[in-house]
Structure 1
Amino acid sequence: MSQLTFFTYPSCTSCRKTKKWLTAHSIEFVERHLFKDTPSPREILKILSLTTSGLDELLATRSQTFKNLEQNLDELSLSEVVQIVIKDPKLLRRPILTNGEKIVIGYNPDAFKNMAK
């Protein structure tokens, strides 16, 4: 199994629950603070490639940050959207857990079990 990367934000309740679950199940992971160690454009594209519904799955569309966006993301190119996300990672749903082959977005213990196999 490849290394598990856990993109997190400490004040996020789902992130704290995920970290507690992973630790309780002795699953090793590399923790990356989403705002201090933002994913690179290449990493964002890789994460997107692992989703089943693309940007809809990855973006925090109910967040105030998303609602305050002045651009309509549907009118932008993928590279423009990636740049916006990198500039403001609060647009991403959290946590993001990936091993490079699978991805879990949000707190989902059943999916964590499948990824840890």
Structure 2
Amino acid sequence: MTQPLFLCHPRCSTCAKARTWMTEHGIAYTERDIRTDNPTVAELTQWHAVSGLPIRRFFNTSGQLYRSMGLKDRLSAMSDEDAIALLATDGMLVKRPLLIIADDSGAPGTVLVGFRQNEWETALL
């Protein structure tokens, strides 16, 4: 089984909780800094499709950049493609942590946005 891809910001307290939880449960993962290696349009498009979530769930709504850009009011008028293109410009716009769990073929099979312990338990344990 391929290790899940854990996209996080090193100083994010929620990411730290998720990292600790995975370590305590013996879950190996590949970590990627969302700030220095932000997701691409292709990755975000695929992850959004796999997740089944509305695109707005991929935005870090509590982030300074989100607020300074006035995205709360602008998102509803954006297409999913425009929103994904915007997310790909800066990893700090993306909700974190993101956990991408590959299926048997190596393609993303499960995408978890944010750390909700019960969702992570269901997906990983």
Moved over 6 A (4+): none
Contact 2:7–2:97 (CA under 8 A) maintained in structure 1: yes
Give the count of matched residue pairs: 117
TM-score by length of 1: 0.86
In the alignment, which residue of structure 1 is the partner of 2:85?
Answer: 83
Q: Which has the higher contact order (CA 8 A, sep 6+)?
A: 1
In the alignment, which residue of structure 2 is the partner of 1:96?
Answer: 98
Return 5+ residue gaps in structure 2 as ranges: 102-107
Contact 1:51–1:57 (CA under 8 A) maintained in structure 2: no
Q: Structure 1 94/102 Cα, relative in aligned 2: closer, same or farther at 3 Å? A: same
Give the CA deviation at 1:61.
Answer: 2.2
TM-score by length of 2: 0.81
Q: Structure 1 106/70 Cα, relative in aligned 2: closer, same or farther at 3 Å? A: closer
Per-residue CA distance 1:17-68 (angstroms, 9 max, x = gap): 1111111111111111001111111110112113343212211223331122
Match of 1:112 among 84, 97, 120: 120
In the alignment, which residue of structure 2 is the partner of 1:30?
Answer: 30
Return 5+ residue gaps in structure 1 as ranges: none
The two structures, once aligned, show a CA RMSD in angstroms of 1.9
| % identical aligned pairs | 22
Give the CA deviation at 1:74.
Answer: 2.9
